[in-house]
Amino acid sequence: MDQFLVDEGELVVGGERLSLLAARVGQTPFYAYDRGLLQARVAALRAALPKGIKLHYAMKANPMPAVVGFMARLVDGVDVASAGELKVALDAGADPAEISFAGPGKRDAELRQAVASRVLVNLESPREIAVLQAASAELGLPARVAVRVNPDFELKGSGMKMGGGPKQFGVDVEQMPALLADIGRAGLAFEGFHLFAGSQNLRADSICEAQQKSFDLAVRLAQDAPGPVKFLNLGGGFGIPYFPGDQRLDLAPIGANLQQLLERAKAELPHAELVIELGRYLVAEAGVYVTRVVDRKISRGQVYLVTDGGLNHHLSASGNFGQVVRKNYPVTIGNRQGGGETEQASVVGPLCTPLDLLADRMQLPVAGVGDLAVVFQSGAYGASASPQAFLGHAPCTEVLV
């Protein structure tokens, strides 16, 4: 992809030619994340959004400790989805005051850890209130809470809808007045609301509409809140282009819309900080998955490049992580970038299943055993979202360069 340079016919990742980077890593397959691209993405986002908007990194997109540590220094806060992620965030030096913890199935022990860590818990069930109240009394610390709201609208055009209709996420709008009253009676430290309508959206108008509706809903709910709204997480949903025909998200209207909401907040939610929570958008395009060709086969005229890694390391690229109709991620032969001969070929992994497909009949540089196949847009939902123990193959490694 265009964000990666080419030197002597090879992709450059993190300032290093791909073959040398592979030698440095010492094995294939591997993921590599480019520090410069991560930094550039955050800087571009900061330039497009109003200064009053806080930017949080949703580390479920890429929880590699080195990446989290790097991102924690660039953003304003980190959002975690388990006690395991909470540990990584704290170890990385993230400020507990700017860590929020979401998830529909938090165990009692996790909630207790959250209170002890002084992080903000996004409530997603009435059950969590009593657990947090007990933990707060035991530890002598206030249980900081916001409520994740399941809104009565969806993010139109999103790849994955996280709100609207029946959902396991958050508390239905209809149940909010009673829940807010329970929070007040329990003496929890109420701070605000978290609304996340959907993800992977390339339509700025849809994102703006969802943000406006989320803000309006928060203003309405604030009337029943046990305290002033200090924290309003408007979610994310910013998508990236994965497939042919995808148009890059236009940030300009989103920035203008958020500026309007900041102005409204001064009057309608005067104590609130507005937060945007992004994961994929921050890290996906800065990462590549690199796997080595171990065999070249021709079956009834079709070329197959068999590699040492596949869906066990990169489930998303195989099309088995939410795609209804499988589409190819951008793929190339990373050490054959000199503009030479190309051919139609399929890149497959080493697993005994036809699902192990990284590129289906794509036009690629002619490759053979030893060459390096590269899957772009791989900085999010890669290694940690894949069944690495499947069929007993070795796990991949990850590097930040």
CATH of the domain at 395: 2.40.37.10
52 lies in a domain?
no
356 lies in a domain?
yes
260 lies in a domain?
yes
Chain segment 169-182, per-residue pLDDT in tens: 789 989 999 999 99
55 lies in a domain?
no
Same structural domain, 251 and 370: no
Same structural domain, 366 and 236: no
pTM for the model stands at: 0.94
CA 128, CA 141: separation in Å to the nearest integer?
16
Q: State whether residue 182 is helix, strand or coil.
A: helix
Strands 30-33 and 287-299: antiparallel
126: left (phi over 0), alpha (psi -120 to 50) or beta: alpha
Same structural domain, 232 and 302: no
37 lies in a domain?
no
Same structural domain, 128 and 252: yes
pLDDT in the model for residue 240: 93
Same structural domain, 112 and 241: yes
How many domains is the chain partitioned into structurally? Answer: 2
Q: Which residues contact 117 (CB under 8 A, 6 or more apart)?
A: 86, 90, 96, 99
Same structural domain, 338 and 230: no
The parent domain of residue 86 ranges over: 63-278
What is the DSSP track for 17-52?
A: EHHHHHHHH-SSSEEEE-HHHHHHHHHHHHHHS-TT
98 lies in a domain?
yes
Same structural domain, 332 and 295: yes
Backbone angles phi and psi of 221, in degrees to 5: -70, -30
Same structural domain, 267 and 205: yes
Q: Which of 278, 304, 331 is the last residue of a domain?
A: 278
121 lies in a domain?
yes
pLDDT in the model for residue 165: 62
Same structural domain, 260 and 295: no
Question: Is-contact 38 278, C-beta < 8 A?
Answer: no
Same structural domain, 298 and 273: no
44 lies in a domain?
no
Q: Which two tokens stand for residue 158?
A: 């999103």
pLDDT in the model for residue 217: 95
**Which residue stretches of the chain have pLDDT < 50?**
158-159, 161, 163
pLDDT in the model for residue 158: 45
CA 261, CA 241: separation in Å to the nearest integer?
27
| CATH number of the domain encompassing residue 243 | 3.20.20.10
CA 288, CA 400: separation in Å to the nearest integer?
11
Q: Which two tokens stand for residue 182?
A: 């329970």
CA 279, CA 9: separation in Å to the nearest integer?
32
Question: Is-contact 386 312, C-beta < 8 A?
Answer: yes
CA 122, CA 114: separation in Å to the nearest integer?
10
CA 390, CA 4: separation in Å to the nearest integer?
31
Q: Give the Cβ contact number of residue 156 at 10 Å.
A: 16
